[in-house]
Structure 1
Amino acid sequence: MLEWFKWLNEKRKSRRLVLVVVFVALLLDNMLFTVVVPIIPSFLYDVELKNENLSTPSSPAPNLLVTSTISWDGPDRRGDVNKSPSLPTDVTCINRSNFFREENVQVGLLFASKGIVQLLVNPIVGLITNRLGYAIPMICGFIVTFLSTIMFAFSESYTLLFVARAIQGIGSSFSTVAGLGMLANVYTDDFERGQAMGIALGGLALGVLVGPPFGAVMYDFVGKSSPFLVLAFLALLDGALQLFILRPSKISPDSTAPTPYLTLLKDPYILVAAGSLFIANMAVSMLEPTLPIWMMETMCSSKWQLGLAFLPASISYLLCTNLFGTLAHKMGRWLCCLLGMILVGISLLCVPLAVNIYWLIGPTAGIGIALGMVDSSIIPIMGHLVDLRHNSVYGGIYAISDMALCFGFALGPSTAGAIAKVMGFPWLMVIIGVLNIVYCPLCIFLRSPPAKEEKLAILNHELSPETKLYMVQKTSPDSVLTDHGYGNLTGVNTKAKGIPH
């Protein structure tokens, strides 16, 4: 028994187990985040269909020809057959187009509620992690996420679903800010940090990958509550894993005073990086509520197709977050982010050209690749900027990173529904696609951000003359090494400080 406790104590010190905890937490959070994507539009349609049938029980309405499973050419609840030579399925879709346009706004607001709440809670969570460490907020995130999942399972109205989605934003804030800050704290080497962040984002990507098809299949064949009950069980296992591994005394931030939020937000390089996260992720957040509805309206898609529409993006995102977690360090993270935003814009412009689900594979896969490039580049850049220009305490910077993501996932769905209703889905894709392409040149500023003067003093004190000369020549061959240190220290630091070399 004593040997077992010794083994347990040794394992709990492992950085890899910390990475496992963050990976699983992001996986479950994003499974819950995306599992509702194919469920909510179809569920709200079923509720609308049920209410209209109850309001006119004696005479079936001619425009209610779509089945409860959105199988547009199958039998409906009354046993009638919709398929007939005189009424093709595309006419059935058009008959319900008014409802779909109204549902764009409703679904968009529901999806945006999580991002809005998470945006408001993130600064508070950042302060909590700076004071209490990362373990306690991680466990709090698990508890709130579990409660949200249970509420999703048993909610039968739009209002309750809206509240459950908002509560999920609180749990997601705790898990994301604490998880990324924890990884930045235990992986101080820049190359290792990039790899760890890539693996952690792989958990996020896997959740995005599994969520929509899992939710669509379970909802179609078992029922609305089933996917959420499965996720609730997995959340309990995640909570047990966190209690088993995390120890606040081992993974709390050090005694260094954290940089105030206002100082971080005044840093133009941090703002550029956060803007890239915001705009690129706002693109996919606009797709989530509007693409399923556009598919139902124009392609007469069934539930399983609504879930599978996001599968190419999820698979490519999963592969690219791990690939570019390492590759971006070699090619330059700023360049990787710039190319990713260009690819986001091009892919979005191609989405409205699709005439069926198969034509969507290329554009959605391109979006997944591009987001993998952007996220796996910017998340490590945020830690790099703090190491280079501020105190190396990471709760605040990853609260800002998550705020940028949440702002995208709050503003995106809420405005996407209104734009799609007024201008149409194709113009929505054009607007956000062009915005990504116009913004991407700003990533050039992240190529070689200058260090603050106090950081230069630390570097001049810590590095040997040989190391100084090597680092200066590598980053700027024209720089001159003097007896007082660097002639040009732009973008320079050592591995020990977690900065690219």
Structure 2
Amino acid sequence: VCVCVDMAWLHQSRGSPRLVLVVVCVALLLDNMLLTVESSCLQDSVFLEEENVRVGLLFASKALVQLLVNPFVGPLTNRIGYHIPMFAGFIIMFVSTIMFAFSGTYALLFFARSLQGIGSSFSSVAGLGMLASVYTDDEERGIAMGVALGGLAMGVLIGAPFGSVMYDFVGKSAPFLILALLAVFDGALQLCILQPSKISPGVSSPTSVCLSVCSPVGSLCFANMGVAILEPTLPIWMMQTMCSPKWQLGMAFLPASISYLIGTNLFGILANKMGRWLCSMLGMFIVGVSLLCPCCGASGMVDSSMMAIMGYLVDIRHASVYGSVYAIADVALCMGFAIGPSTGGALVQAVGFPCLMVFIGVINILYAPLCFLLRNPEVREEKMVNIHLETSGDVTGSLLASLF
């Protein structure tokens, strides 16, 4: 009887929106904990004054590889569904985590981080596409995206202190082995509640989808580029100018991580009321100003709003299949996290850390007004007809329900 009950629960749970949200949250949590745990463990050996460029390239390698893989992952999810790519991402992430645990050279670390970029591409694109497909209501989708990105923020928030403590008191391999167990848990969860499914493509070309989401792509890229530049350069600058102890290097990112966590969850809800375009515009202004400090976490306002907007733009202009659009969104994020670290080290040596922060902050402030273009996005004529038909059907259904 217990087995029958468990099988019935499992059958009902497959594809449950809330459980899908849990799976995506855990995947993003793992990806970003691995990212920041690695950063913490490298501070003792690689964060040296003369290593700006090499450190920047190491940090950028994941985003660069992810940038190259995303254009293939998006169309793939459109053809075979989200579940198989999501599980493939788990396997690749697990292998990458094990490699981090036992890598002792720069070359192996570079390869492990690049491999993480492949796994992250599969997990992020498939996960966000899956969320958009199960949360069909626009308002609920915005809240779900905020919660999912909260998992990302939580990974960034706890990864560095977790890595520092484990590295100092247990050993270099310990934090990565624990993250490998977390990866296994996420994989088991996927096997239990998800099922492979083929979806009907019916998708517009990636080029037309990209043209529809140009403004959100720029916002995602520039709002996260500042954070990406800070990642490899701020600790080195702190050691050079402040003689900061090691524990302060990780703590410097704590305010930004907390504000990102608050921003994704809070503005995932508030953006529905105040307008996502306005939320994104304010977020970019705040990012620009805060980079002058530097301490930026308002990118969470931009990310949670823009991820929901991109799904909405697909709904009103194209077929409601989300692999390509979230591949484009991930490309935008990766551009910020690839261009920032790879060029940040060289630019810091050329112009200095404060000048670089001012430059990136001004770019965000100047780009922010373009979010106004998303205030009332144009709906394609055939989509408008479908929306009217669906709306009239809902009204008719409500009237019949009230009568009977």
TM-score (norm 1): 0.76
Query: Within 5 A, what are the aligned runs for 1:95-106?
Result: 100=49, 102-106=50-54
Of 247, 250, 253, the residue aligned with 1:307 is: 250
User: How big is the shift at 1:419?
Assistant: 0.5
Q: CA deviation at 1:40?
A: 2.0
Q: What does 1:115-194 align with in structure 2 at a 5 Å threshold?
A: 115-194=63-142
1:263 aligned to 200, 203, 208, which one? 208
Partner of 1:18: 20
Partner secondary structure for residue 44 of structure 1:
coil
Corresponding residue for 1:295?
238
Shift of 1:394: 0.2
Q: Is the 8 A contact 1:259 1:396 kept in 2?
A: no
Aligned partners of 1:463 and 1:381: how far apart in 2? 20
2:140 partner SS: helix
CA–CA distance in structure 1, aligned partners of residues 379 and 291 of structure 2: 36
Shift of 1:454: 2.0
SS where residue 209 of structure 1 aligns?
helix
SS in 1 for 2:92: helix
Quote the residue 2:143 is aligned against: 195
Would you say 1:9 and 2:11 are equivalent positions?
A: yes
Larger Rg: 1
Partner amino acid for 2:360?
I
Supply the distance in 2 between the matched residues of 1:175 and 1:215 (Cα, whole angstroms): 22
Give SS of 2:104's match. Answer: coil
Q: Partner letter of residue 17 of structure 1?
A: L
Q: Could you tell me how far 1:339 is from its partner in structure 2?
A: 0.4
Match of 2:398 in 1: none
Q: Where do 1:417-456 residues align within 5 Å?
A: 417-456=345-384
- Code of the residue aligned with 1:257 in structure 2: it is G
SS of equivalent residue, structure 2 residue 45: helix
Task: Spell out, residue by residue over 1:14-40, the C-alpha distance to the aligned partner (whole angstroms, 9 max, x if none).
Answer: 211111111111110111112222322
Contact kept in structure 1, 2:224 and 2:333, CA below 8 Å: yes
Q: Go from structure 1 to structure 2 and tell me whether the alpha carbon gap of 1:231 and 1:466 turns closer, same or farther (over 3 Å shift).
A: closer
User: CA offsets per residue over residues 28-53 of structure 1, 9 Å max, x none?
Assistant: 011111222232242225xxxxxxxx
Separation (CA, whole Å) in 2 of partners of 1:3 and 1:414: 53
Greater relative contact order (Cα 8 A, min sep 6): structure 1 or 2? 2
Displacement of 1:461 after TM fit?
4.1
* 3-state SS of 1:391 partner: coil
Select 1:235's aligned residue among 183, 202, 208.
183
Q: What displacement does 1:422 show?
A: 1.0
Match among 23, 34, 37 for residue 35 of structure 1? 37
Deviations 1:236-260 (A, max 9, x none): 11111111111123xx54x251121
Letter in structure 2 aligned against 1:222: V
Match of 2:275 in 1: 332
Contact 2:166/2:172, CA 8 A, preserved across alignment: yes
Shift of 1:206: 0.5
In 2, are the aligned partners of 1:217 and 1:304 still within 8 Å (CA)? no
Cα distance in structure 2, aligned partners of 1:273 and 1:234? 32
Distance in 2 (CA, whole Å) between partners of 1:281 and 1:222 is 33
Q: Mean Cα displacement is larger for which, 451-460 or 113-122?
A: 451-460
Q: Does 1:341 align with 2:267?
A: no
Q: Return the alpha-carbon distance in structure 2 between the equivalents of residues 293 and 379 of structure 1.
A: 32
Contact 2:210 2:325 in 1 (8 A): no
Which amino acid is the alignment partner of residue 243 of structure 2? C
* 1:397 corresponds to 2:325: yes
Question: Are the equivalent residues in 1 in contact too, given 2:311–2:325 (CA < 8 A)?
Answer: yes
Q: Structure 2 length normalisation: TM-score?
A: 0.94
Pairwise CA distance, 1:302: 2.1
Aligned residues: 394
SS of alignment partner, residue 119 of structure 1: helix
Structure 1 residues 462 and 8, CA gap change in structure 2 (3 angstroms): closer
- Alpha-carbon distance, 1:417 to partner: 0.5
Q: Is 1:285 the counterpart of 2:228 in the alignment?
A: yes
- 2:284 maps to a residue whose letter is M
Decide whether aligned partners of structure 1 residues 462 and 10 sit closer, same or farther in structure 2, where only a CA change above 3 A counts. Answer: closer
Mark the CA change 1:136 to 1:332 in structure 2 (over 3 Å): closer, same or farther: same
Specify the code of the residue in structure 2 equivalent to 1:39: C
Letter in 1 for 2:354: P
Q: List per-residue Cα deviations over 1:435-456 (Å, max 9, x = no partner).
A: 1001101000011111112212
**Distance apart, 1:304 and its partner CA:** 1.7
- Tell me how far apart the structure 1 counterparts of residues 109 and 59 of structure 2 sit (CA, whole Å): 10
Normalized per residue, the structure richer in helix is 2
- Aligned CA distance change for structure 1 residues 440 and 148 (closer, same or farther; 3 Å): same
Asked if structure 2 preserves the Cα contact closer than 8 Å seen for 1:220 and 1:304, the reply is no
Alpha-carbon distance in 2 for matches of 1:204, 1:3: 34
**Aligned residue for 2:260?**
317
Structure 1 pair 459–6 and aligned structure 2 pair: CA distance change class (3 A): closer
Deviation at 1:460, TM superposition (A): 4.2
Asked if structure 2 preserves the Cα contact closer than 8 Å seen for 1:194 and 1:329, the reply is yes
The alpha carbon displacement at 1:457 in A equals 2.9
Which residue matches 1:490?
A: none
Give 1:466 deviation, angstroms: 11
Q: Answer whether contact 1:41 1:107 (CA < 8 A) is retained.
A: no
- Letter matched to residue 245 of structure 1: I
- Runs (4 or more) in structure 1 with deviation over 6 Å come to none
Shift of 1:195: 1.0
Report the alpha carbon displacement of residue 136 of structure 1 after superposing the two structures with TM.
Answer: 0.5
| Cα distance in 2, alignment partners of residues 277 and 216 from structure 1 | 29
Are the equivalent residues in 1 in contact too, given 2:79–2:201 (CA < 8 A)?
no
Secondary structure of residue in 1 paired with 2:292: helix
Question: What is the CA–CA distance in structure 1 between the aligned matches of 2:381 and 2:16, rounded to whole Å?
Answer: 35
Deviation at 1:4, TM superposition (A): 2.1
